[in-house]
Amino acid sequence: MLIDESHQDVETKIGGGHPMRIFLFHPVIASHPRARFPGVVLFSEIYQVTGPVARFARQIASHGYIVAAPSSYHEFTGPAPLAYDGPGTAAGNEWKVQKTLAAYDEDAQLTIDALVALPTCTGRIGATGMCLGGHLAFRAAASSDDRVAAAVCYFATDLHARSLGKGRRDDSLDRAGDVAGELLMIWGKRDGHVPAAGRDLVRKTLQEAGVLFSWLEVAGAQHAFIRDELSKGRYDAALSGVCFAMLLELFDRVLKIDLGGGAASGAGDGALGGDDGGGGGGGGGGGRVALGADDGDQLAC
């Protein structure tokens, strides 16, 4: 599926009121110009929307989802990505714990608002992200804004340690009982940012809270194993493909595509199976999903 890329700058109120850029990746079906799609919030790692994050967004969008990737550090810098180097890592780690939890939550809400305001969005929302973004995807799924129906959290850092945000005392894991949708939690067993005891704590908390979730711990996988650029030898394309298939299984099952009526005049066949008559396909009803990104502990990502 082809993709149209753009961005929106939205006003914020918390953290100085600096505008936040949201990068949009929109699928296009030429034979169905009125097609409507679910939305996915993609939260980035500590380096903002980098090349690997944008490629991940395009990959999701090409399967029929409008992807919105917010710039996380608009209080401190512009929307340009930070470099995958020492200074970039230091800045990302510093801003990660200077930003307030309320500001993170406002960013998530504004990004969801931007998606559902699009006439081409069905209003069904999901979330995903890696590292910091994985934590933010979890937090979005566990918020009082119950529009997120499904979230895929890749190696969600800081979650086990409750150390995200200003003061390093987040309540994300305490909100597990508020998760209304379905989660997919993905980890690497060799991730130095989230040790085995931390993963066990997250899993136990989700079980005790009665959350509907799937859990994958990959033997041999390290932190940032899905990042295809400057990952210090940790990128695993085969494992990344397996995890992406699991992401699509969850999103396709919980979220739906609405092709918006019949095919355009003179259009050919084969556009996602034709008209779904207003939201058919996929079990589980309408839902929401959320996305996120990089390293929770003070290790270089």
What are the residue numbers of the active site?
A: 131, 191, 223
∠ CA 96-166-153 to the nearest 5 degrees? 50
Q: Give dist(CA 226, CA 240) in Å, integer.
A: 5
Contacts of 278 (CB under 8 A, 6+ apart): 258
**Closest by alpha carbon to 126, among 159, 151, 107, 146?**
151
Beta-strand pair 182-188/212-218: parallel
Q: What's phi and psi for 35, nearest 5 deg?
A: -60, 140
Would you list the DSSP string of 119-163? TTEEEEEEEEEETHHHHHHHHHHTSS-TTEEEEEEES-TTTTTT-
Contacts of 201 (CB under 8 A, 6+ apart): 160, 173
The CA-to-CA distance between both ends of the chain, in Å, stands at 32
List the beta strands (DSSP E) in 75-232: 121-130, 148-154, 182-188, 212-218
